[in-house]
Amino acid sequence: MAVRKPPITTREYWAPGHAACAGCGCAAALRLATKAFSEAMEEKYGDPNAFAIAQATGCMEVVSAVFPYTAWKAPWLHVAFENAAAAASGVEAAWKKLGRKGKILAIGGDGGTADIGMQALSGMLERWHNVVYLMYDNEAYMNTGIQRSSSTPYGAWTTTSPPGKYSIGEDKPKKWVALIAAAHQIPYVATASVANPYDYIRKMKKAAKIDGPAFIQVQCTCVPGWRAPPEKSIEITRLAIETGVWPLFEIENGDFHNIKIQAPGGGAKVKREGGRVVAIEFKKPIEEYLKLQGRFKHLFKQPEAIDQLREQIKAMWKTLGVEVTLPKPEE
């Protein structure tokens, strides 16, 4: 009987027994990332374990390394909130001197990356360390409760961006760290989603095999933070892609003229010119994505706020060089 090869290694580096919530999208993101890393190391160095992890303070750190336990089956280091990139720089430099083959994976959430960790990230990328930086983006500070970060999308409820008489919730558009990373003209930048694991694995492997810095921003749900049912995590992140909220793209060597945009699925019509995506006509309205999450519940009482979000998403796609049509739900 033919035995099908598993699509990704059965080796585990993110072990069962961590304390993440049921349905945590970010736990899935870390598990897949380390598996993909392992495959890349095996293919590149013949050693599936040839990597170490430097991780920022954040929800994935506090759920995975509670003394005297650990969920990590790879060498793993946590220092502080804002310095995963700097700590990874040090580890990489040490490995170079020790003659140790392999690659460093730095992991930070959106707060530890887009806000307080931005300077260290920029320094690490600019110095060209042989590190893949993975930003798991659950769009708020989730280990301290649910406070807004600069990666929180417009309109989202958080405990520090509460909707109220004078507030729509978060009142600023989301900061796109992947584009900031790409401005360093590093070899590889990508966005990814846990709802598209094959694409995510491919990107992690590609990043891991590159000599030099790479940056990947993966969107993943936070069950309590997004006010969403645990069993809907993957469905929600898939809808983010299919409605245009979360673009999947790759930028190599900082070439903004050659951004590789991936087709979003969900019935969207993609227009290409010379192989390059220039326009996308989305079929599913962003409301389909928003309505599954309690953090956007209040927006449905103010449809103009959703229109505002639609305009911001269009503007973001325009930055990527793509004209998009975002439908409104049928009346």
Partner 1 sequence: MPIRKVMKANEAAAWAAKLAKPKVIAAFPITPSTLVPEKISEFVADGELDAEFIKVESEHSAISACVGASAAGVRTFTATASQGLALMHEILFIAAGMRLPIVIAVGNRALSAPINIWNDWQDTISERDTGWLQFYAENNQEALDLILIAFKVAEDERVLLPAMVGFDAFILTHTVEPVEIPDQELVDEFLGEYVPKHAYLDPSRPITQGTLAFPAHYMEARYTVWEANENAKKVIDEAFAEFEKRFGRKYQKIEEYRTDDAEIIFVTMGSLAGTVKEYVDMLREKGVKVGVAKLTVYRPFPTEEVRELAKKAKVLALLEKNVTFSVGGALFQDFSRALINEKEKPVIVDFILGLGGRDVTFKDLDEALGIAQKALAGEEFDEVNWIGLRKEIL
Cα separation, 109 vs 143, whole angstroms: 10
Please state the closest distance from residue 139 (CB atom) to partner 1, in A. Answer: 23
Contacts 24+ apart (CB under 8 A), 206-209: 206/40, 207/132, 208/36, 208/37, 208/40, 208/41, 208/44, 208/51, 208/103, 208/105, 208/132, 209/40, 209/43, 209/44
299 Cβ neighbours under 8 A, 6+ residues apart:
155, 168, 169, 290, 305, 306, 309
Nearest approach, Cβ of residue 93 and partner 1 (Å):
4
CB nearer to partner 1: pick between 102 and 169: 102
Which CB sits closer to partner 1, 93 or 180? 93
Residue among 118 and 324 whose Cβ is closer to partner 1? 118
Q: What angle do CA 219, 225, 231 make, to 5 degrees?
A: 70
- Smallest distance, partner 1 to C-beta of residue 231, A: 28
C-beta closer to partner 1: residue 35 or 284: 35
Q: Which is nearer to partner 1, 66 or 315 (CB)?
A: 66
**Quick one: which H or E segment has residue 223?**
helix 223-226
Q: Which is nearer to partner 1, 131 or 316 (CB)?
A: 131
| Distance, CA of 182 to CA of 2 (rounded, Å) | 44
Residues 29 and 136: their CA atoms lie apart, in Å, by 7
**Minimum distance, C-beta of residue 41 to partner 1, in the bound complex (Å):** 9
Binding site for partner 1 (CB under 8 A): 47, 49-52, 54, 61-62, 65-68, 70, 72-80, 82-83, 85-98, 100, 102, 119-120, 122-123, 126-127
76 vs 289, beta carbon nearer partner 1: 76
Ramachandran sector of residue 94 (left: φ over 0; alpha: ψ -120 to 50; beta: rest): alpha
Nearest approach, Cβ of 77 to partner 1 (angstroms)?
5
CA dist 229 and 328 (Å) reads 25
Of 139, 135, 166, the closest CA to residue 289 belongs to 139
| Shortest CB 173 distance to partner 1, Å | 27
Across-strand partners of 131? Answer: 104
61 SS3 class: helix
Count Cβ atoms below 10 Å from residue 62 Cβ, excluding itself: 16
In the complex, minimum distance from the CB of residue 220 to partner 1, in angstroms, rounded to a whole number: 21
When the beta carbons of 84 and 324 are compared against partner 1, the nearer one is 84
CB 56, min distance to partner 1, A: 11
Tokens 């310095």: give the residue: 83
Q: Report, in angstroms and rounded to the nearest whole number, the Rg of the chain calculated over CA atoms.
A: 19
**96/269 with CB nearer partner 1:** 96
